[in-house]
Amino acid sequence: MSTNHFSSTFTQARKRFKNAAHAAGATISSYQIDVESEQELAIDVAILGEEGAPTILISSGVHGVEGFFGSAVQCALLNQLNQVSARSNVRYVMIHSVNPFGFSQLRRFNEDNVDLNRNFLSNADHYNSAPDGYASLNGFLNPESPPSKFEPFKLKALWTIWRNGLQALKQSVAGGQYQYPKGLFFGGNRPCKSTRVIYDNCDAWIGSSEKIIHIDLHSGLGDYASYKLFLAEGAESKNLGWYTDAFGADCVEPLDQPEGTAYKATGPFGEWMQKHFTSREYRFVAAEFGTYDVIRVLGAIRAENRAHHYSDKTSSAYKNAKAELLECFCPSDASWRRQVTESGLKIIFQATQALGNLE
Ligand SMILES: [Zn+2]
C-alpha cells in the first residue's frame, strides 16, 4: 500500500479526489463555500453505483485539517473501485472535505471558528450555553494573545487534569460550547454554510437507498496509528450486536461509555444524520485514528487557535502553530500513513460486507 494518496495542500487533495472519482466513473457535484480565500473552497461529493443500492457513505474533513487523512483514504478507495470487479452491488457516496476552510488553512475549526461536529443541532434554541466547567477553563484554553514557546502549557494541562480528572476535562472542554466565539470547540450560533450544504443535499445524495452505513473519518484521538469506531447510539441499542459483528467488539465504542476514549459532544454530524434517516436502516461510525497523546494534541489545537486570532500570518509563531497542528492530525511518518490507510480501507471493506446483514 503506497502512502502517496496524502496531499500537501487542500487544493491538491481536492484535485486528486476529483480526478480519482472521475477515473472510477463517479458523478461529481461541487458545493462552493462562499468565503474570502485565495483558493476556491468547496465540498465535493462523488457518487458511484446504482441509485437505490445499499450505500456506503464516507465523509472526510469535518474537522478541516483532519481531511488530509480522510481524503487519502477516499482517494485510495476510489483507486480500488476503479477496478470494476471490486464494486459489487454497492453504491458509494463520498463527501470530500466537509470543512474546506479548515482544511485549506490547517485549522480544525471553520471560517466562523466553529467546530462543525458541534453545529448539527436539531433545535435552534440549543445554540447557547457552555458546559459547567468551561467558564473556569476559558482563561487556560483561550488566552487572548499569540502562542508562546516559553509557556509551560504541559504543566498547566497536567495540573488541570489532576484537579478535574481527564474524562471530566475532555467532557467540559471538548463536548462543545456556544458562548465563546473565539474559543475552542465553539459550536456556532446557527447552522454554518457547510452544515446547510449537508441539510439541503443529503436526501439527494442518498436517494432511495434503504440501507446506509456512514463512516465519518477523523484523526487525532486515541493510540498512535490505531483506531476506534464511535457510535451515535448507546450500549443499550438493539443494533450494538450488528456493529460488533461487523467491525469487531474491541474497536467499537457506544455512546456514554464510562472511561471510554471519547466524550459526549453536542450537535455531532452523525447523530443528526442518524435521526434524519431514522426510517431507513442507517448505521453510523465516527472512525477516529490516533496520533499523539491528548496533551500534545490539545496543546496544538490551543496554540493554533491563538495564532489564528492573534498572530501575524507571516510570523514564525503562526507557521510553527500550523505545522504542529498538521503533524498532530496527520503525522508525516510514512508508517503511520500506511497503517491508517490500510485500516481505513479495511473498515470500509467490513462495512461493505456487513451491508448484507442490515435489516
Ligand atoms: Zn475529528
**For 269-281, what is each residue's pLDDT tens digit?**
999 999 999 999 9
DSSP string, 273-338: HHHHTTTSEEEEEEEEEE-S-HHHHHHHHHHHHHHHHHS-TTSHHHHHHHHHHHHHHS---HHHHH
- Which residue would you say has higher pLDDT here, 94 or 129? 94
* Mean per-residue pLDDT, 64-80: 97
Q: How far is the CA of 65 from the centre of ligand 1 (A)?
A: 9
Structural contact between residues 260 and 324, judged by C-beta atoms closer than 8 angstroms? no
Judge whether residue 155 has pLDDT over 60: yes
Q: How far is the CA of 116 from the centre of ligand 1 (A)?
A: 9
The dihedral sign for the CA sequence 231, 236, 238, 244: positive
Distance, in Å, from the CA atom of 232 to the CA atom of 289, rounded to the nearest integer, reads 17
**For 225-246, what is each residue's pLDDT tens digit?**
999 999 999 889 999 999 999 9
Q: How far is the CA of 66 from the centre of ligand 1 (A)?
A: 6
Distance, in Å, from the CA atom of 116 to the CA atom of 43, rounded to the nearest integer, reads 14
Reduce the DSSP state of residue 179 to 3 states and report it: coil
* pLDDT confidence tier of residue 3, bands split at 50, 70 and 90: low
Listed residues: CB within 5 A of ion ligand 1: 63, 66, 218
Q: How far is the CA of 88 from the centre of ligand 1 (A)?
A: 30
Task: Give the three cell numbers for residue 312.
Answer: 501575524
Reduce the DSSP state of residue 11 to 3 states and report it: helix
CATH class given for the domain over 10-118+190-294+328-357: alpha beta
Select from 194, 148, 197 the least CA-distant residue to 302: 148
Judge whether residue 1 has pLDDT over 70: no
Q: How far is the CA of 159 from the centre of ligand 1 (A)?
A: 25
Question: What's the pLDDT at 143?
Answer: 92
Question: What's the pLDDT at 159?
Answer: 77
Select from 102, 3, 90, 92 the least CA-distant residue to 43: 102
**For 185-219, what is each residue's pLDDT tens digit?**
999 999 999 999 999 999 999 999 999 999 999 99
Average pLDDT, the chain: 92
Note the Cα 69 to chain centre separation in Å: 10
